[in-house]
């Protein structure tokens, strides 16, 4: 049995920020992360640059320096890893939390499984859930989505050189992927249900993309949706008219969502609108002692909470714990 004051589930930027805020009030939280530190960022496209400027990504009062206007994925991985090391944040990586049970005497029992399959048991007065969403893509629910040619992630363009790729979606991730794929010689068709370009597309990227569409180097299908995926084709529907597009690979870049099922399994209620119940001022859920930090606290879309906003959730939690006297000494 491992006794802890606070356990944080998830070692993303917001989980790390929460740990550092708790250190500042004299606590020594443990982070349990089922993969690697800042796993979500390691899932981003290899050559991606952030939309945010570096100072909006900083945690723990440690400057994020970069020679560019916008930091790259690699720079972010280096930054957050180094912050965790410099702050001495305790992290159990490659360990998956399987259950959390409230105890009659207060606090929680947490069961996890390490990478070797061994079961571990913890007790903690406070649990902070700071899980991400990359394990839960928004599925299309159409025939053929399970085929190996379909991916909800885009890493880099090189493997798609010389192939026919359909991209589903019209967000920044879809546009960026289309540009990279076109540069390596892929034949790209973007299928988007919107009637025009999304207003959220990065303004310095959109003119380049529009130019390639105008030159027919990228095919754009507005007001359209993919209705079926076959081994060699994709069926696209627009105004009840179906079109078959020759195809080798499909990138379904339709976004992700937090894991609500895990929250409900530990007693956190879900509001009728679909988001978990929590107090904005303290980040505490309807279950006393269980808090949220980061994208798991999103109310509508997962991308409404970014690092630049979610990094402050830990401060609200720390303030609340300091005022209420949590966690109790029994967890020490």
More confident residue, 70 or 320: 320
Q: Are residues 131 and 157 in the same domain?
A: no
Q: Does residue 313 lie within any of the structural domains?
A: yes
Domain's final residue, options 252, 273, 295: 252
Q: Are residues 247 and 262 in the same domain?
A: no
Q: Does residue 220 lie within any of the structural domains?
A: yes
| Full domain range(s) for residue 246 | 150-252
Q: Are residues 247 and 297 in the same domain?
A: no
Q: How far apart are CA 14 and CA 8, in angstroms?
A: 10
Domain's final residue, options 226, 252, 278: 252
Residue 257 corresponds to which tokens in the numbers above? 């969502």
Mean pLDDT of the chain: 92
Count of domains forming the chain: 2
Q: Are residues 131 and 260 in the same domain?
A: yes
Domain's final residue, options 252, 269, 304: 252
Q: pLDDT, tens digit, for every residue of 40-95?
A: 899 888 888 888 889 999 999 999 999 888 899 999 999 999 999 999 999 999 99
What CA dihedral angle connects 253, 304, 98 and 148, to 10 degrees? 0
The conformational region for residue 94 under phi > 0 = left, psi -120 to 50 = alpha, else beta, is left
Decide if 179 contacts 185 (C-beta within 8 A).
no
Direct distance between the N- and C-terminal alpha carbons of the chain, in angstroms, rounded to an integer: 12
Q: Does residue 142 lie within any of the structural domains?
A: no
How large is the average pLDDT for residues 81-110? 96
Q: Are residues 248 and 260 in the same domain?
A: no
Q: pLDDT, tens digit, for every residue of 161-183?
A: 999 999 999 999 999 999 999 99
Contacts of 211 (CB under 8 A, 6+ apart): none
Q: Does residue 143 lie within any of the structural domains?
A: no
Q: Does residue 291 lie within any of the structural domains?
A: yes
- Inform me whether the pLDDT recorded for 127 exceeds 60: yes
Q: Are residues 212 and 232 in the same domain?
A: yes
Q: Does residue 145 lie within any of the structural domains?
A: no
Q: Are residues 275 and 209 in the same domain?
A: no
User: In which order are the strands placed within the sheet that holds 241-246?
Assistant: 225-229, 233-238, 241-246
Q: Are residues 209 and 89 in the same domain?
A: no
- Inform me whether the pLDDT recorded for 189 exceeds 50: yes
More confident residue, 231 or 70: 231
Q: How many CB atoms lie within 10 A of CB 259?
A: 15
- Inform me whether the pLDDT recorded for 330 exceeds 50: no
Q: Are residues 75 and 161 in the same domain?
A: no
Q: Are residues 169 and 191 in the same domain?
A: yes
Q: Are residues 246 and 260 in the same domain?
A: no
- Inform me whether the pLDDT recorded for 259 exceeds 80: no
CATH number of the CATH domain containing 229: 3.50.50.60
Q: pLDDT, tens digit, for every residue of 266-293?
A: 999 998 887 899 999 999 999 999 999 9
The conformational region for residue 185 under phi > 0 = left, psi -120 to 50 = alpha, else beta, is left
Q: Does residue 126 lie within any of the structural domains?
A: yes
- Inform me whether the pLDDT recorded for 135 exceeds 80: no
Q: Does residue 189 lie within any of the structural domains?
A: yes
User: Quick one: DSSP state of residue 326?
Assistant: P
Q: Are residues 283 and 316 in the same domain?
A: yes
Alpha helices for 191-279 (secondary structure H): 206-214, 260-265
């Amino acid at each position: 049995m491992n006794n802890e004051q606070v356990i944080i589930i998830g070692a993303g930027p917001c989980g790390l920020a929460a740990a550092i805020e708790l250190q500042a009030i004299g606590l020594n939280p443990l982070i349990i992360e089922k993969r690697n530190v800042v796993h979500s960022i390691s899932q981003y496209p290899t050559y991606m640059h952030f939309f945010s400027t570096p100072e909006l990504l900083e945690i723990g009062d440690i400057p994020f320096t970069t020679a560019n206007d916008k930091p790259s994925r690699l720079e972010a991985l280096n930054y957050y890893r180094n912050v965790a090391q410099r702050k001495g944040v305790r992290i159990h990586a490659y360990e998956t939390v399987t259950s959390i049970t409230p105890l009659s005497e207060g606090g929680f029992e947490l069961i996890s499984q390490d990478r070797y399959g061994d079961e571990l048991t913890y007790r903690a007065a406070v649990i902070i859930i700071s899980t991400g969403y990359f394990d839960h893509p928004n599925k299309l629910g159409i025939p053929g989505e399970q085929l190996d040619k379909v991916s909800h992630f885009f890493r880099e363009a090189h493997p798609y050189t010389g192939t026919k790729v359909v991209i589903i979606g019209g967000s920044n991730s879809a546009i960026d992927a289309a540009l990279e794929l076109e540069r390596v010689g892929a034949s790209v068709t973007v299928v988007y249900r919107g009637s025009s370009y999304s207003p959220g597309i990065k303004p310095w990227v959109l003119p380049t993309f529009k130019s390639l569409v105008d030159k027919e180097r990228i095919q754009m299908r507005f007001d359209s949706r993919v209705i079926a995926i076959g081994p060699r084709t994709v069926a696209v529907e627009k105004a009840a008219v179906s079109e078959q597009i020759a195809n080798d690979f499909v990138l379904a870049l339709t976004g992700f969502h937090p894991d609500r099922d895990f929250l409900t399994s530990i007693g956190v209620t879900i509001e009728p609108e679909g988001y978990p119940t929590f107090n904005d001022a303290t980040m505490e859920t309807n279950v006393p002692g269980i808090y949220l930090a980061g994208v798991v606290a999103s109310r509508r879309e997962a991308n409404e909470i970014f690092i630049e906003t979610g990094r402050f959730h830990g401060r609200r939690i720390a303030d609340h714990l300091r005022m209420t006297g949590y966690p109790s000494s029994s967890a020490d």
